[in-house]
Structure 1
């Protein structure tokens, strides 16, 4: 079904989001707090960039030459890269990092800086995923192709029986797909869907931007290290691969347990595109929070363990999610709505693994 045909209910518990927005607004107004980033966000930004570029500079300048330390630097860069994506790029692309639109636009391009396309991310994530969460055929986050089945409405293949085993490998190589084919495939698909014009861009300009970004990324992230780092070429390639494996796993293990879970709903529209619930209620039924007590985890993953708050308020910077989560949870309870929560990151991964196994069976869940 065309995404344009999907219409959420305007009457089914529509007062929930209206009431919730008023309460959240009252929280910010009464505490005289901006919904955008603060000093904590700026400090985190500096820390993430240092985690990524610090080891890079140490290797290129010859400060670090021992093989095992070089590999360690690439590993640290992997955590820095995923941290930049989760904590900086994500908020910037949602326009919640800063009140200044230019700052958001500049920081959104760190996606290109780490080898992917900010433009494609905005469409896949902001437009399709956030608007139509867990709706088969529209939400691309649950449509990785035939190799994995992330929705009970997706076609089943025999190999899916083992996806709870091999799926982690495909999560690990996710960023390699971004570096090679995925962005170009997506761009052509979005052109056919008319989504490029909706972003006030032309296909040609985005294509040129994407090609240039990838060439620039490979030049500084792989070619320069091969030239200047005092180590065997294969060691540098291994380090480069390690960096992307870490990044791919972290991104997948943060986003996938938020929606592909045993208690997640996968609502489908009726024959004319109508959904049973309004958009906000739909988010509650399809989204899960996890590990709410870990301050370090919250800091590193950009508050994305509070996915419910993020989906309901993507225009609010993640540094505020922990504070407003109590308001969201209590309001959901008042309206008899779910507030899905996994106590730890480990339990969330375990539940996601069970869901992968369940979806790998022939019967739908």
Structure 2
């Protein structure tokens, strides 16, 4: 496939706000080593909790209520583990040594995903060009949903603010069993293949092996060893994905795609109209930053502006970075938004309703 011309940001000047902000963060917040230890302990604890709940499925799963309970707890822990630990490791922010982050990411394969592919999608496309049409494929995933102003408008999109309530709980199933295969083997609108020379053969093998292992231990082993009808175990397994996805989607829809979202386009030469740091603040939102529960569950997503400005920093540092960002936003008159998660979710579905009909050209949110 042909190579794409990558978007280009405006070069930052000597008085750029982010140069000063980064220096302050490095000299103050990042010197607190206890936050690094907290992140490691939390991540390993979540991993242990997942396998503890899985063991409970095998030991107590003959009782149907407990079977569903521990499958659901496994699903919630899986998503929290992904949002916190694996997300930080992918950015090289969980452990101090690169090789330790890489080793930890191989654990992600046990959950059916392929970390090589995900890093290219998430870091190579989403973080590099968040909300940029045709580049941020964390947002542009399927024609089932219309978010970008330049995406094709189909008749069924007028109902997307309704039917997406039922599709979002299938997010992890789509990720593991559909989207990964589309990105590995699909040819239509495959932006992953346009930014990599060639997908390594070992990753193709690992793709299949990871998904087979995931199905064996999460679905087939409980079917074989529990005194439960196969369809009850299947329903419990589906509840794992649906409950986990419902929790995870809150983070995904609350940070970039509300009704006031910006989707900056490039000019004819591929140039964007802002510096890299300003672009991150324009297109990224925070939610529920003061909630300890939300911060624990969603890690770097509640303080998402801090995450996009400091992606190589562990999420346990973000609650201490966000006040600095707010101060600079006020001092330099920069865009910054933070709202409760329920407002973010409501705003997202209002956006879906707006994007499901023909748009007023003055309301596209482009800069």
**TM-score, normalised relative to structure 1:** 0.92
Q: Deviations over 1:199-225 (max 9, x none)?
A: xxx521110111111111111111111
Q: Residue 132 of structure 1: which of 115, 126, 129 is its match?
A: 129
Aligned residue for 2:286, secondary structure, equals strand
Displacement of 1:321 in angstroms is 0.2
CA distance change for structure 1 residues 69 and 5 in 2, over 3 Å: closer, same or farther? closer
- Looking at structure 1, the residues matched to 194 and 40 of structure 2 have their Cα atoms a distance apart, in angstroms, of 37
Q: Residue 147 of structure 1: which of 140, 144, 148 is its match?
A: 144
Q: Deviations over 1:272-321 (max 9, x none)?
A: 10111011101111010000111011011123111100001000000000
1:33 alignment counterpart: 32
Q: Are the counterparts in 1 of residues 113 and 211 from structure 2 also a CA contact under 8 Å?
A: yes
Q: Deviations over 1:6-31 (max 9, x none)?
A: 111114797121111111112136xx
Q: Residue 290 of structure 1: which of 267, 283, 287 is its match?
A: 287
1:192 alignment counterpart: 193
1:231 aligns with 2:228: yes
Give the aligned CA root-mean-square deviation in angstroms: 2.0
Q: Are the counterparts in 2 of residues 91 and 97 from structure 1 also a CA contact under 8 Å?
A: yes
Runs of 4+ in 1 over 4 A off after TM superposition: 11-14
**TM-score, normalised relative to structure 2:** 0.92
Q: Are the counterparts in 2 of residues 292 and 306 from structure 1 also a CA contact under 8 Å?
A: yes
Displacement of 1:187 in angstroms is 2.2
Aligned residue for 2:206, secondary structure, equals helix
Equivalent residues in 2 for 1:107-122 (5 A)? 107-122=104-119
2:164 alignment counterpart: 167
Q: Residue 347 of structure 1: which of 327, 343, 348 is its match?
A: 343
Equivalent residues in 2 for 1:1-20 (5 A)? 3-11=4-12, 15-20=16-21
Q: Deviations over 1:239-279 (max 9, x none)?
A: 10010112222222202220001222111000110111011
Displacement of 1:196 in angstroms is 5.3
- Looking at structure 1, the residues matched to 7 and 327 of structure 2 have their Cα atoms a distance apart, in angstroms, of 29
Q: Which runs of 5+ in 1 are unaligned?
A: none
1:94 alignment counterpart: 91
CA distance change for structure 1 residues 263 and 80 in 2, over 3 Å: closer, same or farther? same
Aligned residue for 1:301, secondary structure, equals helix
1:53 aligns with 2:76: no
Q: How many residues align?
A: 356
Q: Are the counterparts in 2 of residues 2 and 138 from structure 1 also a CA contact under 8 Å?
A: no
Q: Deviations over 1:311-361 (max 9, x none)?
A: 01000000000001011111122111111111x111111111111111112
